Amino acid sequence: MKIKYTQIFVKDMEEAISFFTKKLGFCASDKIAFDKENDQIPMRINNADQYVNLVEDKGESGFKSRIILSTDDCLKDYHNLKTMGVDFKGQPQYLAVGLCAEFNDNYGNAYVLLEERNYNEL
Amino acid sequence: MDYSKTLRNNNKIFSETRAHRYQTQCTADLSFRFALTGNEQFQMGRRELSIYPDSFLLLNKGTQYTSKIDSDTPVESFSIAFDQAFLQDFNQAYSLPASKLLDNAGKTTSDVLDFNETIYPLSADMRLNIRHLKQHLDDGVQDELLINEYLHHSLINYYRIYTNEIADKAEKLNFTNQTTRIEILKRLNLAKDYMYTNYNKNISLEELAKHAYLSVNHLLRTFKQAFNLSPHQFLIQLRLQRSRILLKTTRYPINEIVCLVGFECPSSFIRLFKNRYSITPQKYRQSLSK
């Protein structure tokens, strides 16, 4: 068993797809009909076998996600995403787990760019 | 890889890999000096300092020094020199708590920032940031905004190290007078520099006290106050840490590493290593090759 899909609720599907593909560098896969009401668009990056599914929030469920994106160089990705117009909440911060930077999409979902660091190694 | 890069804002980065080099220079700007592999020796007046991959040296603007690399294997020497305006900008955003200042750190007297010129431990965050930066430069990255992002973060890292190593340590000293605390800590740092540099030699307390301009008793008492360790314990920790670097980066047999880092007896080395890291040197090396 493994995790394959997580879901993010968005208000505007077209805009969300554009945010993921043009700004974050994700690729969109074919839409999947998970249930009768909603089509979901799986998005993935670097050909990984994990997807975030964009789900249009038609009602007012207001469900918010917080996605942690792993990177091996937080400052580089922070800089590149900022150049692409991603609006970060602040500068990258040093935490006990490593270096991280956070941004939001237009629908209140949070994304954390995390470079995990092993502080015990030399 | 060798290069010397001057950015448009006048920050400078030098990278050079050499087994032998000797040069006398004067720093044009405040600089960080790293030896990413091997070691590099510096002489400033009568002070002799040696940096290894677990430490770095800060040189203030206008310091005269001689640096020397003399090694069997090439040494990766890396340095950053910060433009004054870049430093001032940074300092305005991240000024150190005023009550904790040493020297003129963070103050803008005569527009020159002046920090304690000593060997600092290279924190993991700073080491990783420098590694990333060097990798990008080695790959030929030209994006100056990106490069400056790393330089900015190396200053963030440095300010944290400064706070831990200088400001907080000075606070721990039992003297009411702030000036006395600062002066004593400066001298303790001379003792620390001496150990960082001569860690693999026999160091007597008298010798150490002489280099710190303190009496033996005074040195023992104040060192313990500031660092929570006796000079001897500090030296043992340093030797163990450097043995770990050698275990990781070389194929020298353990018996040889014991001598290289200044221990006399392999069995006491193995015991101390195991006490500190909860693993034997042999198993530690094996765990790395997996």
Q: Is the pLDDT of residue A122 over 80?
A: no
Using a 10 angstrom Cβ sphere, with 0-12 exposed, 13-18 middle and 19 or more buried, the burial of residue B133 is buried
Tell me if B248 and A122 make a contact (CB, 8 A cut-off). yes
Tell me if B153 and A75 make a contact (CB, 8 A cut-off). yes
B42: pLDDT confidence band, cut at 50, 70 and 90?
very high
**Overall average pLDDT of the B78-95 stretch:** 90
Q: Is the pLDDT of residue B103 over 90?
A: no
ipTM of the complex: 0.90
Residue of chain A nearest B245, judged by CA positions: A122
Residue of chain B nearest A92, judged by CA positions: B153
Residue of chain A nearest B135, judged by CA positions: A73
B98: pLDDT confidence band, cut at 50, 70 and 90?
very low
The size of chain B, in residues, is 290
What does the block give as tokens for B269?
Answer: 């080395």
Chain B residues within 8 angstroms (CB to CB) of chain A: 53-54, 124-125, 128-129, 132, 136, 143, 145-146, 149-150, 153, 156, 160, 241, 244-245, 248
**Overall average pLDDT of the A86-91 stretch:** 94
Residues of A in contact with B156 (CB under 8 A): 94
Alpha carbon distances (Å) from B3 to A13, A21, A76, B139, B147: 48, 36, 21, 12, 14
What does the block give as tokens for B218?
Answer: 């005074």
> Closest to B244 (Cβ–Cβ): which among A99, A119, A122?
A122
What does the block give as tokens for B239?
Answer: 């030797």
**Overall average pLDDT of the B160-189 stretch:** 90
**CA–CA separation, B40 and B165 (whole Å):** 22
> Closest to B54 (Cβ–Cβ): which among A73, A83, A122?
A122
Q: Is the pLDDT of residue B282 over 80?
A: yes
**Overall average pLDDT of the A99-119 stretch:** 95
Alpha carbon distances (Å) from B191 to A22, B35, B237: 55, 21, 15
- CB contacts < 8 Å between A and B, how many? 35
**CA–CA separation, B145 and A41 (whole Å):** 35
CB atoms within 10 A of CB A87: 11
CB B6 within 8 A of CB B56: no
pLDDT at A38: 75
pLDDT at B97: 54
- Residue ranges of alpha helices (H) inside B55-114 are 84-93
A122 vs chain B: nearest CA distance in angstroms?
7
- Residue ranges of alpha helices (H) inside chain B are 84-93, 124-138, 144-162, 168-172, 178-198, 205-212, 216-227, 231-249, 254-260, 266-277, 281-289
Chain A residues within 8 angstroms (CB to CB) of chain B: 73, 75-76, 78-80, 83, 92, 94, 99, 117-119, 121-122
Tell me if B129 and A121 make a contact (CB, 8 A cut-off). no
Residues of A in contact with B125 (CB under 8 A): 94, 99, 117
pLDDT at A34: 79
Residues of B in contact with A73 (CB under 8 A): 132
B111: pLDDT confidence band, cut at 50, 70 and 90?
very low
Q: What percent of chain A has pLDDT over 90?
A: 78
Residues of B in contact with A83 (CB under 8 A): 145
CB atoms within 10 A of CB B124: 17
Q: Is the pLDDT of residue B101 over 60?
A: no
B99: pLDDT confidence band, cut at 50, 70 and 90?
very low
CB B188 within 8 A of CB B222: yes
What does the block give as tokens for B14?
Answer: 């030098």
A62: pLDDT confidence band, cut at 50, 70 and 90?
confident
Residues of B in contact with A101 (CB under 8 A): none
Tell me if A75 and B136 make a contact (CB, 8 A cut-off). no
Residue of chain A nearest B52, judged by CA positions: A122
Query: At residue B256, what are phi and psi to the nearest 5 degrees?
Result: -75, -40
State the virtual CA torsion across B130, B42, B11, A79 in degrees, nearest 10. Answer: 0
Residue (of B195, B167, B183) closest to B222 by Cα position: B183
- Global pTM reads 0.90
Q: Is the pLDDT of residue A36 over 60?
A: yes
Q: What percent of chain A has pLDDT over 70?
A: 99
The 10s digit of each residue's pLDDT in B16-26 is 999 999 999 99
What does the block give as tokens for B126?
Answer: 């700073």
**Overall average pLDDT of the B143-164 stretch:** 95
